[in-house]
Structure 1
């Protein structure tokens, strides 16, 4: 346990004094930990006590009020993707931006997540979905544009980005991501089906001819010698 606490302080030190404007400080007695990579004992301890299946399903709290357990999870793991989804669902269910037991609003939990780990594209896509569903499409698009710039050739990120683009109503970008994901080897049908059902699907244009194909038809050693120079 002493070794675990030492690890907690080492991880948490990186977030000390990281103030999120209007949304508190990221420092925490336990953590904060990065949900994407800290998948060992700290995550097991938090999820087994506070983010149980009953909590995730929004049935009831595990150690107190439902909101308190989700809040604890998001203070220990600010970018815990499933807890962010659960928090947003609870806010929608209870029709309030700050359900009972939460220390912050839903917007704050998302802001804390992306300040904690700005490169976490999944957290940003979840935030964009929340923003778009609550009348802030312009801000949502900025989050998605950031993700697209960082996605590179990651097929999962590209595909998921297409799904979120579709959800926010940007069908042209969703189609572009669908084509790009297919080129990267993704075969899942959901995005294509959604675009077809919305009447927004078109096949990807054929690839441009490779430059090497044209060059292979050219002589390898420059122009042919004039006929007068040929050997009899």
Structure 2
């Protein structure tokens, strides 16, 4: 009996000193038979194999499964191979919302666990934190959502319109319209094609056209080049 109690105390101390172990017990180890791979940096054969076999467009759109009866099973496989697969995380979140459950059919983990696993696997991935903030907003936990969103923005990738658009949607749902508008301007200036965020802001009476970009700074070299262009002879029509 004393030995048993000693083991319990040892386990408790170990978990208390290492929160990641507690997360692993609750949400599973990241070890996987295939991968795991970082979604941001994997563009070769592993990504092609997983997405073609388990995450084709109709799975991403939640229309039907490919290798599993429940579409959640294929998304589950994708997220075990690519824990921070942004689109697969979003699909799992959408599936949970549609099914009105935190743990969708076919998924071995809850949405919270998939997000926890993604953050453990890629703690520097700002998009994971933005997706987590989006999920927290849907659950009504706006205070924690703002913290996750702020943490994600600190890790923002350079020149990523999808990231800016997602940030804008999250801030819109938090009714932080000034920040949503700024993110929308960044996304659309970079060429993001979907008009949804702009339409939301317009409907809320919060849309403003972005200010014009500043004119390029005139340098002596620029002025000299312009002068040469103006004085260059016109090509002959012959």
Under a length normalisation based on structure 2, what TM-score does the superposition of the two structures give?
A: 0.68
Query: Hey, what's the Cα distance between the residues in 1 that align with 2:107 and 2:123?
Result: 23
What root-mean-square deviation, in Å, do the aligned CA atoms of Structure 1 and Structure 2 show? 2.8
Query: Hey, what's the Cα distance between the residues in 1 that align with 2:51 and 2:198?
Result: 35
Question: Deviations 1:62-93 (Å, cap 9, x if unpaired)?
Answer: 22232221111110100111111111121112
Q: Name the structure 2 match of 1:57.
A: 61
Question: The residue matched to 2:94 in structure 1 has which SS?
Answer: helix
Q: Name the structure 2 match of 1:48.
A: 52
Question: Structure 1 residue 27 and structure 2 residue 31: aligned?
Answer: yes
Give yes or no for contact 1:19–1:26 (8 Å, CA) kept in 2.
no
How many residue pairs end up in the alignment? 189
Deviation of the 1:161 alpha carbon = 1.7
User: Residues 77-226 of structure 1: matches in 2 within 5 Å?
Assistant: 77-151=82-156, 154=159, 156=161, 157-178=163-184, 181=186, 185-186=189-190, 191-201=197-207
Give yes or no for contact 2:126–2:157 (8 Å, CA) kept in 1.
no
User: Residues 5-20 of structure 1: matches in 2 within 5 Å?
Assistant: 19=21
Question: Could you list the runs of 5+ residues in structure 1 that have no partner in the other structure?
Answer: 1-17, 208-232
Structure 1 residues 102 and 178: CA distance shift in structure 2, 3 A = closer
Deviation of the 1:117 alpha carbon = 0.8
Under a length normalisation based on structure 1, what TM-score does the superposition of the two structures give?
A: 0.70
Deviation of the 1:107 alpha carbon = 0.8
Question: Could you list the runs of 5+ residues in structure 2 that have no partner in the other structure?
Answer: 1-19, 214-238
